[in-house]
Structure 1
Amino acid sequence: MRHSVITIVGILVLSLVLGACASQTASEPAQPADAAAEAQEPAAAVEEPAVVEEQVSGPLTVLCGPQEDWCQAMTAAFQDQTGIETSYVRLSSGEAVARMEAEADAPTFDVWWGGPSDGQVEAFTKGLIEPYIPANAALIPENLKDEASGWTGIYVGALGFCSNQDVLDELGVEAPTSWDDLLNPKLQGNIAIADSRTSGTAYTSLYTLVLLRGEDGAFDYLKQLDSNIFQYTKSGSAPGTMAASGEVAVAIIFSHDCVKFREETGANLVVSFPAEGTGYEIGAEALIKNAPNPAAAKVWMDWALTPEAQAVAATVKSYQVPTNPETIVPAEAISLSQVNLVDYDSIAAGEAKSALIERYAEEVREGAAAPES
């Protein structure tokens, strides 16, 4: 299922922020003005499917992709509401797929919740995902789920630059507003980004550059950028903490994480976006094939799409845009309509991931081991 960025902005931003349920077809993407007009039409009442109430017991183990505190809050809320004993392990996307491959015959996890959907697509292509669409997926816009590969979107967020303004001032550099700005010699050793082999965030940046520059052009750019990189981290959000502490001037991360770190630390962090375009993630959930407790996993997946569950994010300062139109969008959330988003096809990104990561390891990291922290 492939959709244009106009559909993302038209349906997700206008429908969620304005609180209406505009509908459109994939074959005829709505223009922003058309989507706005549709959003003003009275929406037909949609009866929200209830979370399945049945005798399901634990334990449930969640492979969790977002921030640690969000994983904690979600599993605690689910256990309190359902009585199902629930635990989680937090892994970045690359780690998640590697762990699932290693455990394919006897999985540890039941459900993969969070992280860019291209990770779930890659796992599906490797036979690690059991296609399952929960009942509450009916509430989620069509362009934010894929029945064929079995994932359903839970949030959306744009990739951006997270800069420490104090460090930039010391260097005499403006906050970057293009990908080429990151090649400024004054930023040598002052940029952090995760490793694309371990991080879904970093892979989003890699695939975004492929879309903007072509594959060869993207790798030429990344090899130039390497001289300005202070550290490649394992986790996609870790560079943001480095920017907050003043260890680096610029972090390449999802913009909502920068907002979170600014609120939590009080650091003078600024969010900016490349004018030529940036990618975005559809954070998703999927059922793991041969899960030890698929019944509990399915209850989790249905519950996680409810407004109540999606509202947990804001309580821990995770300000992604939720996918359920009935969920209140946090005031702190980045307005995606103000960002030039590329036509990021998460299905194509997931299918291309293994080959691109192999090339990244050889040409950009030059055989260096993947980071462990």
Structure 2
Amino acid sequence: MTPELDRRTFLKVAGATAVIIACGGAGQKATGRISIYSALNESTNNQLFAAFTKATGVEVSVLPLAAAGDLQTKITAEKNNPQADIFVGGSSEFHDPLGKQGLLEAYQSPNAKDVAAQFKESSGLWTGWYTGIFGFISNTSRLNKDIGGKKPATWDDLLDPAWNKKLILPDPIKTGGGYIFIATQIFRFGRDETKAMDYMKKLHANILSYGPTSPGVITSISNGEAAGAPNWSHDILTEKAKDPSKIDLNVPKDTGFEVGAVSIVKGTKNLPGAQAFVDWVLTKEAGDLNVKLSNRGSVRKDVSPAPGAPTLDQVSLVNYDRQWATDNKTRIQKLWQSAVGIQ
């Protein structure tokens, strides 16, 4: 064999190996269909999963449910007969407990090497692929009419009586956003849970309702059902793009953020397909697409943020201890229910 043919053969093998590593690991080839439980919004689901299928040939069936807590509950209930292969979206606080219960399949994707340790579980039970910053959405008309046009510079500003029954908060039991909001207050008060629960109790007086999903709350504010709501900055930006004069985004001081995760459900009926999805969602291609579709941040340093989107280094963040918030989630949720009188 000539040196030139040797070189061509090497390049072909190297290229094929690169494709295998990027989309399904070095094991069995990914084929067939996977079932995904997704906490992402519908438009992101449709385009993201279509791009995955185009890249890998693996088809997708999706159960879209924007409340990650409901998906966690469903996966737990189905532990003896798993119906999903993948759980995607929602903060890591909803994936981590499933891993501790033995309901997730550990998988260390070769592409996870590009993800910092703070954004992934060390054994591969879940891997973060996007970030989200908690901000505040205001309905411009209601804000001007009811609050005098003053946006909250701090979370304490929401205790002003002017906000009485003019706020909606994502449900802290069902949504990652609602729980992260409570945890943010705990860290903001130096882990003084008494002070944090006193804040949540006072805030409760200004809450019109607790929304079952974070995207649904944004729709409610856009429709003028209330003047404002704590919510995810990326989703607020997506809604604002529809009509910039209708709503606005600002990020109060000392806020929190999420690490959006992906995990493989234990008992998956298509492990190669599930691994291929994790591999693909961690690529730059998927990161760029997710930013374009959702305005979220990426855990990859080579993915640029969306225009106008706040970034972790631009906002004032609390010292958010994600593992503590995860390990104490059920206890804190019950503490909040007791403080505000909701069971």
TM-score by length of 1: 0.81
Matched residue type, 1:206: I
Provide the C-alpha distance between the structure 2 equivalents of 1:344 and 1:134, rounded to a whole number of angstroms: 26
Among 15, 35, 50, the residue aligned to 1:61: 35
Letter in 1 for 2:22: A
* Residue 239 (structure 1) aligns with: 217
Greater Cα offset, 247-256 or 265-274 = 265-274
CA distance in 2, matches of 1:56, 1:247: 46
1:234 Cα deviation from its structure 2 partner: 0.9
Correspondence for 1:152 among 127, 146, 157: 127
**Partner Cα separation in structure 2 for residue 112 and residue 82 of structure 1:** 18
Q: What secondary structure, in the 3-state scheme, does the structure 1 residue paired with 2:88 have?
A: strand
Displacement of 1:194 after TM fit? Answer: 1.1
Q: Is the 8 A contact 2:170 2:178 kept in 1?
A: yes
Per mean C-alpha deviation after superposition, the further-off stretch among 219-228 and 196-205 is 219-228
Give the distance between the partners of 2:32 and 2:337, measured in 1 at CA: 39
- Aligned Cα root-mean-square deviation (Å): 1.9
Give the distance between the partners of 2:324 and 2:269, measured in 1 at CA: 30
| Residue matched to 2:200 | 222
Q: Distance in 2 between matches of 1:52 and 1:231?
A: 44
1:180 to 135, 142, 156: 156
Query: Could you tell me how far 1:365 is from its partner in structure 2?
Result: 4.7
Alpha-carbon distance, 1:156 to partner: 1.0
Contact 1:61 1:109 in 2 (8 A): yes
1:261 is displaced (CA, Å) by: 0.6
Instruction: Pick the aligned partner of 2:63 from 89, 106, 111.
Output: 89
Deviations 1:73-112 (A, max 9, x none): 1111111222212021123121011101110111111111
2:249 maps to a residue whose letter is V
User: What does 1:48-197 align with in structure 2 at a 5 Å threshold?
Assistant: 49-52=21-24, 55-91=29-65, 92-148=67-123, 150-171=125-146, 172-197=148-173
| Deviation per residue, 1:210-260 (Å, 9 max, x gap) | 111221221111111111111111112222112212221111101111111
Task: Mark the runs of 5 or more structure 1 residues left unpaired by the alignment.
Answer: 1-46, 368-373
Residue 281 of structure 1 deviates from its aligned partner by 0.4
The CA distance in 2 between the partners of 1:298 and 1:200, in whole Å, is: 25
Name which of 255, 269, 272 aligns with 1:295: 272
Find the partner of 1:249 among 227, 230, 237. 227
The structure-2 alpha-carbon separation of the partners of 1:51 and 1:84, relative to structure 1 and needing over 3 Å to count, comes to closer
Give identity over the alignment, percent: 29
Is the CA contact 1:132–1:147 (under 8 Å) kept in the aligned structure 2? no
TM-score (norm 2): 0.88
Larger radius of gyration: 2
Shift of the 180–86 alpha-carbon distance from structure 1 to 2, 3 Å rule, reads same
CA distance in 2, matches of 1:292, 1:261: 37
AA in 2 matched with 1:152? T
1:337 corresponds in structure 2 to 313
Give the count of matched residue pairs: 319
Pairwise CA distance, 1:173: 4.4
Cα deviation, 1:25-76, whole Å, max 9, x if unaligned, reads xxxxxxxxxxxxxxxxxxxxxx995323753222201111222211111111
